[in-house]
Structure 1
Amino acid sequence: MEGMSSRISCPTLRTRVMPADAAAALIENGDNVGISGFTGAGYPKAVPTALHDRMTAAHERGEEFRIGLWTGASTAPDADGVLARAHGVGTRLPYNSDPTMRALINSGEVDYIDAHLSHSAQHMWFGFYGRLDVAVVEVTAILPGGLLVPSSSVGNNKTWLEQADRVILEVNHWQPREFEGFHDVYYGTALPPHRRPLELTEPMQRIGEPYLRVDPAKVVAVVETDRADRNSPFSAPDATSAAIAEHVVAFLRAEVAAGRMPENLLPLQSGVGNVANAVLAGLDASDFTDLVAFTEVIQDGMLDLLDSGTLRAASATSFGLSDVGVARFMENISAYKGRILLRSEEISNHPELVRRLGVIAMNGLLEADIYGNVNSTHVMGSAIMNGIGGSGDFARNAFLNFFLTPSTAKNGAISAIVPMVSHVDHTEHDVHVIVTEHGLADLRGLSPRARAVRIIEQCADPRFRPALLDYTERAWAQRPDARHTPHLLDEALSWHQRYLDTGSMGTDH
C-alpha cells in the first residue's frame, strides 16, 4: 500500500482514519446502509467483513442485528456474500447476483425489492425505502473540501453520499490514482414535478463534474484498503453464443442497408455475460467502425473493441472486467482516458437519454413465450435469479432492442421458448427482436399470431418446435372468440410444471 493516508489530502478527514472494525462499530442494528458497488466493481472491501464479524458476535449473544442493504447493483462475495452468511440482512435492493444472498431471498429470510436501476435513486429521494442511515462508499482518493475521486463504479454513490446521515469512506489504494478525470457526476437532477431536461445529446458529452461530493461533517470514519475488485471470469465465445452473435451482426448490417440506421450504427448497450461478449466480438470482427456505447458495464469485449478502434468511446457506470482485462486496463489507462466515461446509474440508465440517443439495447433472458413476452428474472415463475437490473430501462426506451439466449438450458431439459412465460418482466409491447443460436425473430410490426409463428420457427429448439406449433394451432382452434392472443389456460404453464415434476419440459423424459 502507498504511504498511510497518502490519498487523503483533506486535513479534516485524515483525522478520521480508523480500522475497519472501528468503522463497522458505527453501524447499528436496524440501520439502512447504502454501499457502493456495481457488478463487482467499486464496492467496499473491508467494512462489510468487519460488519459480518460484529453481526455474528451479536447473534451468538442472542441479540438481533440485521440491516437494510442498498447498493448500485450486484457487489461481491466479500460484500453481499459475507453479510448474507452472517444472516445480517433484512432488506436488499435493487439488484443482487450473489448466490448466498439469492438463497436467503428465495427462502424468505431477506425481503428483496427488485427495482429498475434508473428508479432506485429517485425512489430513495422520495422516501419509498425509508431513511438512509449510513453510506459506505469506496473512493480512489479524498481531496480537500470533501471532493472524492470515484473508483471503478459510480452506481448510486452520489445519492448515498447526499442522503445518508453518516458516511464511511473506504479509500482503496488498489484503484489507480489515474482514475481522476474518468467520471462525469451530474448534480443537476431535480425531482418531479420540477425536472429539467437533461442537456445531453451525445453519448460522450460531459454534463457534470469529475468528482463526488460529501459534507465532511457527515463522515464518521475513513478506512484505507488495498484490495482488488471481484474480477469477472472471461471465457471465449462457444459455438452457441457465436451463432447468436452472427445473427445479430447480420441483422444490423441489414438495418443499415435498409436505411434505418447510420453506417456506424447507433449507441450500443450490452448486458453482461458470455453471450454479450460474443456479440461484441462479432462486431469487432465485422466491417463496422466508429461505434460508440451508452451502456452500464464495460466488459472485456468492449475493451477489445476500444483497443481495436472499432469502438470510439464508451459511457457507462461501471467496469466488469476479468483479471486479464484489469491488467490490460491498468497498463494502458492513459490511453482510455477520454474514451471511457463513468456516470451515476440514474444517468447511464436514464430513459430520457436512452430514447433521445436511440440506443441499440442487447440483453439476456431466461425465457420468452410464443407471443414475445420475456421473463428475465424468475426461474419457474417463483425463484429469483438476479433481478431486472437495467434491462427494462433500456429495452422499453431503445430505438431497437434484442433479447438474446441459448434456445435451451439444463442440457436441453428446459426450452427458452415456452407457450406462456411464468413471470413477465418485458411485455410483448416492449420486445423487438429475439435471438437464439437457431435464428432471429424480428417482431416489429407483427400481430401476436404472426409473432408466434416467427418465434417458434426461427428461435425454438427443433426438439420443442412441434409441441409449440401444436399448442399454437390448438389454441387458435379452441378459442374462436379470443384469437388475438389465444391461450389454453389449463396448458399454458404445463411445461413448467412438467419440469418441476420430471426434470424436463419435454414429453420424452
Structure 2
Amino acid sequence: MPDSRIHHATLRQRVVDAAHAAALIQPGETVAMSGFTGSGYPKAVPQALAAHIAQTHARGEAFRIQLLTGASTAPELDGALAQVDGLAMRMPFQSDPNARKQINAGKLDYLDIHLSHVAQHVWFGFYNEIDTAVVEVSAILEDGALVPTTSVGNNKTWLDLAKKVIIEVNQWQPVEMLGMHDIYYGTALPPHRLPIPMAHGDDRIGQTTLRCDPDKIAAVVLTDAPDRNSPFNPVDADSARIAGHLIDFLKHEVARGRLPANLLPLQSGVGNIPNAVLAGLASSGFHGLEAYTEVIQDGMLELLKSGVLRYASCTGFAFSPEANEEFRRNLAFYRSRIILRSQEISNHPELVRRLGCIGMNGMLEADLYGNINSTHVMGSSIMNGIGGSGDFARNGFLSVFLSTSTAKHGSISSIVPMVSHVDHTEHDVAVIVTEQGLADLRGLSPKQRARAVISHCAHPDYRDGLQDYFDRACRDSYAKHTPHLLPEALSWHQRWLQTGTMQPSANR
C-alpha cells in the first residue's frame, strides 16, 4: 500500500496530495522546513507551493513567505520558491543560485547567522512565530512518533513551535535508519538550563524519533524522491597539497604531545578541499579517529569503511550520488557508527569546547593578520553563508581555515592586505592553509602573523605585493601594532572590480 509507512490510524486519514497541503500555507506566513545540505528536505510541498505562488502572482496578488530551514536545501525547495519570487526572508544558510541572485539584487532579505544559534533564537522569540512547519520523515509509528531521515537539522524545534505541521513521508528514505538518530529533548531556556550530559562524541543522550502532537499535523503527503547533493570533484593537485600540509601539521602536533595519537574529534566543512583532507587521512597512518561535525560527506564514509574513523556524529549528510548508494547498500554497517543529532547539539558551543574539536573549514579570503572572510565576495556579494564554521572556530581546540591561494584563474588572491568582510576574527583563527603552505598563527603577535601568512600561504604572483604593502605599512601606518595603510587596504578588491584582476597593471 502507498501509505504503508504511516502506522498511526488518525494520521492515515490526513493523507492529501502536495497541492492540497501547500494550500494550507498563507501569504506572509513564517514557514519552517526540514533540510540540511541537500538532505532530508521536503520534496513535493515546496514545489506545489511555488506553483501556487506563481498562479497567485499571475492574478496580480502578493504572496511571499519567510523561510527557515536547518541549512541549505536543494533546487526543489530554495530554487523553486526563489524562482517565483516567493521568499521575503531567508535564514540561516543557503547555496541556491536563484536565491543568491535575489539576495545580492536586494530583493530577498537574508539573515546569515551561526547554525547553533537558530533554534535558540527562535525559542527566544527573536523572529516571528512559526505558522507552518513542513518536515520530511521516513515513517510515522503507531504512537505518532516520527522517524527522521538523512538530516535532523532544526526539525525538533520546528515541530515543537509550529502552529500547524505538514509531514512528508518519503518512501525513498530507508526505514532501516530507525535507531541511527539521537534527538535530545533536555534543552531549556535560561535561567533553567542544565549541562548537556555528553562527555564523549558518541554518547547517546536522547531518543531515536521526533515527537509532535498529532492534533497539530494538518496534512500528510506521500513522496518517493531522492535527496539532491552535488558530486565531489576528484582530488586535484592543489587540494592534495593542502591536505598534505595539514596532515603533516597534525602529525607534528602529535609528536610534540599537543594532540593524542588519535587526534581529537574532527569537524569538517563541506566542499572539495575538506573532502580532500578526509581522503588524505585515509592513508595518513592515523587510526581510531573520531568525528563530531555537522555534516558527513563522502570522505568520512571512506574513513568509516576503512576503520580509520571509529564513529561520526552529525546533523545531516552531504553525499554524492555514489556515496548515497554506498550508504544505502551498507546501511547495517553504518548505522552502528553514525549518529544523527539536532543541529543545536551537533553545533553546540558547550560541546565543541568540551570535546576539543578540530575545526576544518573553507574560506574565501584571509588577510595578513588572520581575519577570515568566508561569506562575501568583494565584501558585498553573499556566496552561501557562515554556516557552522563559527561554532567550531570560536570554541574548538584548533580552528583551521583552508583555501587555494588564488581564485578565478589567478585573478584573485585569497590572501589580501585586509579582508573585505570579516566572519572570523584573528582571535578565532589558529591555522591557515593553502597549497603554498601552512601558517601556524598560535602565539604570534599581529606582525609575526603577517610574516607567517605572506611567507607560507600567499601565491608567488602576489607575495611580493603583499610584502611591499606590509613593509610600507610598518613604516607609514598610523600605529605600529597592526600596521595598515587605510587608503590602500581594500585597493586590491577595488582593482579587481575595475579591471578583473587584483594584479597591478605592470604584472599582467
Q: Give TM-score, length-normalised by structure 1.
A: 0.99
Could you tell me how far apart the structure 2 residues matched to 1:483 and 1:253 are? Answer: 35
Alignment-derived partner of residue 375 in structure 1: 373
Equivalent residues in 2 for 1:182-193, closer than 5 Å: 182-193=180-191
CA deviations over 1:238-269 (Å, ceiling 9, x no partner): 00000000000000000000001110000000
What RMSD in Å do the two structures reach over aligned CA positions? 0.6
3-state SS of 1:145 partner: coil
| Residue 190 (structure 1) shift | 0.6
Correspondent of 1:427 among 408, 425, 428? 425
Could you tell me how far apart the structure 2 residues matched to 1:198 and 1:90 are? Answer: 36
Give 1:379's aligned amino acid.
Answer: V
The reply to whether residue 503 of structure 1 matches residue 500 of structure 2 is yes
Alignment-derived partner of residue 11 in structure 2: 13
Alignment-derived partner of residue 473 in structure 1: 471
Give 2:217's aligned amino acid.
Answer: V
3-state SS of 2:254 partner: helix
Could you tell me how far apart the structure 1 residues matched to 2:270 and 2:42 are? Answer: 21
2:393 touches 2:429 (CA, 8 Å); kept in 1? yes
Give 2:439's aligned amino acid.
Answer: A
2:37 touches 2:229 (CA, 8 Å); kept in 1? no
Could you tell me how far apart the structure 2 residues matched to 1:410 and 1:71 are? Answer: 31
| Residue 191 (structure 1) shift | 1.1
3-state SS of 2:340 partner: strand
Alignment-derived partner of residue 323 in structure 1: 321
Alignment-derived partner of residue 159 in structure 1: 157
| Residue 462 (structure 1) shift | 0.5
Could you tell me how far apart the structure 2 residues matched to 1:192 and 1:103 are? Answer: 38
Structure 1: any 5+ residue segments left out of the alignment? Answer: none
Correspondent of 2:405 among 378, 398, 407? 407
Give 1:473's aligned amino acid.
Answer: D
Could you tell me how far apart the structure 2 residues matched to 1:221 and 1:350 are? Answer: 32
| Residue 144 (structure 1) shift | 2.2
Alignment-derived partner of residue 396 in structure 1: 394
2:314 touches 2:341 (CA, 8 Å); kept in 1? yes
The reply to whether residue 111 of structure 1 matches residue 109 of structure 2 is yes
> In the comparison of the two structures, how many residue pairs are matched?
506
Alignment-derived partner of residue 481 in structure 2: 484
2:44 touches 2:223 (CA, 8 Å); kept in 1? yes
3-state SS of 1:48 partner: helix
Alignment-derived partner of residue 77 in structure 1: 75
Alignment-derived partner of residue 214 in structure 2: 216
Give 1:498's aligned amino acid.
Answer: R
Equivalent residues in 2 for 1:57-456, closer than 5 Å: 57-456=55-454
2:93 touches 2:386 (CA, 8 Å); kept in 1? yes
| Residue 4 (structure 1) shift | 1.6
1:231 touches 1:320 (CA, 8 Å); kept in 2? yes
Equivalent residues in 2 for 1:5-44, closer than 5 Å: 5-44=3-42
1:145 touches 1:216 (CA, 8 Å); kept in 2? no
Could you tell me how far apart the structure 2 residues matched to 1:413 and 1:97 are? Answer: 23
| Residue 205 (structure 1) shift | 0.3
1:244 touches 1:435 (CA, 8 Å); kept in 2? yes
CA deviations over 1:265-314 (Å, ceiling 9, x no partner): 00000001110110001110111000010001110100000011100100
1:18 touches 1:221 (CA, 8 Å); kept in 2? yes
Could you tell me how far apart the structure 2 residues matched to 1:244 and 1:274 are? Answer: 11
Alignment-derived partner of residue 460 in structure 1: 458
Could you tell me how far apart the structure 2 residues matched to 1:342 and 1:232 are? Answer: 21
Could you tell me how far apart the structure 2 residues matched to 1:218 and 1:36 are? Answer: 16
| Residue 193 (structure 1) shift | 2.0
**Percentage of pairs with the same residue:** 64
Give 1:192's aligned amino acid.
Answer: P
Could you tell me how far apart the structure 2 residues matched to 1:493 and 1:387 are? Answer: 21
Tell me which stretches of 4 or more aligned residues in structure 1 moved more than 2 Å: none
| Residue 231 (structure 1) shift | 2.4
| Residue 126 (structure 1) shift | 1.0
3-state SS of 2:143 partner: helix
| Residue 338 (structure 1) shift | 1.7
Give 1:491's aligned amino acid.
Answer: E
Structure 2: any 5+ residue segments left out of the alignment? Answer: none
| Residue 138 (structure 1) shift | 0.1
Give 1:91's aligned amino acid.
Answer: M
Could you tell me how far apart the structure 2 residues matched to 1:261 and 1:282 are? Answer: 18
Could you tell me how far apart the structure 1 residues matched to 2:124 and 2:284 are? Answer: 46
3-state SS of 1:118 partner: helix
Give 1:374's aligned amino acid.
Answer: I
CA deviations over 1:134-187 (Å, ceiling 9, x no partner): 000000100123210000000000000000000000000000010100100000
CA deviations over 1:332-354 (Å, ceiling 9, x no partner): 00011120000000000000000
Correspondent of 1:493 among 490, 493, 496? 490
Could you tell me how far apart the structure 1 residues matched to 2:237 and 2:343 are? Answer: 33
| Residue 232 (structure 1) shift | 2.2
Give 1:351's aligned amino acid.
Answer: P
Q: Give TM-score, length-normalised by structure 2.
A: 0.99
2:64 touches 2:88 (CA, 8 Å); kept in 1? yes
1:316 touches 1:342 (CA, 8 Å); kept in 2? yes
Could you tell me how far apart the structure 1 residues matched to 2:357 and 2:31 are? Answer: 33
| Residue 401 (structure 1) shift | 1.3
| Residue 10 (structure 1) shift | 0.5
